[in-house]
Amino acid sequence: SYPNGVEAIKGVDLKIFEGDFIALVGPNGSGKSTLAKILCGLLSQRAGQVEIEGKPMGKFHRRDLAKLVSYVFQNPDHQHFNQTVKEEVAFAPKILGISEGEVKERTDESISEMELNGLENEHPLFLSKGERRRLAIASILSLEPKMLIVDEPTTGQDYRTNSKIMALLRNLNKKGFTILLITHALPIVSSCVSRLLVMYMGRIIKDGAPREVLDDDEVVKKARLIVPTAKRIAESLSGYGVPRNALTADELLQYLTLGSSTPS
């Protein structure tokens, strides 16, 4: 609950596993940001308990918490305040007291992971929107948190920029980072993530693989989820034997050309 009495989260019971790649979706005001901020300690809950690796969150020192779960803000311009890309990425580990050599190593690695090489000495405000988004992620990645919460990674950019960010996030997930995305861009993320959490009026109303969640018409309607176009076409062609749970254009094409196999 917020001090003004708004009850943003109601009875959420949730487990996040190491290696999860999750998209948290739902209409505006359904509680996504509030939940995410509770998960990384930016807000504390009025009731209930949050545990990380079996330990109540309140028992962690702030500094240790940042190394476990870190939040990448929606508007990258709220995050940048250093003069160069390099300094921006080095900032968080530096203030956490990590040794100079280690900070340098992490900075180089995070810059390269987010494909910002060559821009190290640029001023963050001279970067393109997509590059600023990647810089925001790099400057949290340098903390090497086990879990990254990324708020709307794909807003306001073109398709190519969004696909690139999703590919980079997928890479991080493959390397072992647990990732939670807060997003409206379901058509962009549904083929990448392994788990979809749907929030509605402060509750999680569905939790499962994207294919399974998007096949639940009631949930899709209630949470006003934007279903990928390929799935909508597949549904309208189900009378011709096309499985209605195709999610991507590639899958749809496969059925149309080969007329076989069920998506897993």
Backbone angles phi, psi at 240, to 5 degrees: -100, 15
Interface with ligand ADP, residue 30, by CB under 6 A: yes
Nearest distance from C-beta of residue 8 to ligand ADP, angstroms: 3
Count of residues in contact with ligand ADP, rule CB under 6 A = 12
Residue 26 in contact with ligand ADP, rule: CB under 6 A? yes
Closer CB to ligand ADP, residue 32 or residue 134?
32
Choice between 32 and 132, CB closer to ligand ADP: 32
Q: Are 223 and 199 in contact (CB under 8 A)?
A: yes
Distance CA 168, CA 27 (A): 26
Q: Shortest approach of ligand ADP to residue 60 CB, angstroms?
A: 22
Contacts of 44 by beta carbon, 8 Å cutoff, 6+ apart: 38, 57, 58
* Residue 231: CB minimum distance to ligand ADP, A: 23
- Determine which residue in the list 10, 14, 29, 238 makes contact with ligand ADP, applying CB under 6 A: 29
Give the Å distances, CA to CA, from 113 to 65, 70, 72, 140, 232.
23, 17, 16, 12, 35
Using the minimum distance from each CB to ligand ADP, give the nearer residue, 26 or 93.
26
Judged by CB under 6 A, the residue of 22, 34, 133, 150 near ligand ADP is 34
Contact status: 28 vs ligand ADP (CB under 6 A):
yes
Closest separation in Å from C-beta 66 to ligand ADP: 21
β-strand pairing of 51-52 with 178-182: unpaired
Rounded Cα distance, 234 and 225, in Å: 17
Residues 31, 41, 93, 145: which binds ligand ADP (CB under 6 A)?
31
* Sign of the alpha-carbon dihedral angle for 91, 95, 98, 99: positive
264 binds ligand ADP (CB under 6 A): no
The two tokens of residue 32 are: 């996504």
| Shortest CB 12 distance to ligand ADP, Å | 11
Per CB under 6 A, the segment of 23-31, 107-115, 138-146, 236-244 that binds ligand ADP is: 23-31
Dmax over CA atoms of the chain, in Å, equals 63
Cβ count within 10 A of residue 86: 18
Judged by the rule CB under 6 A, the positions of this chain that interact with ligand ADP are: 2, 4, 6, 8, 26, 28-34
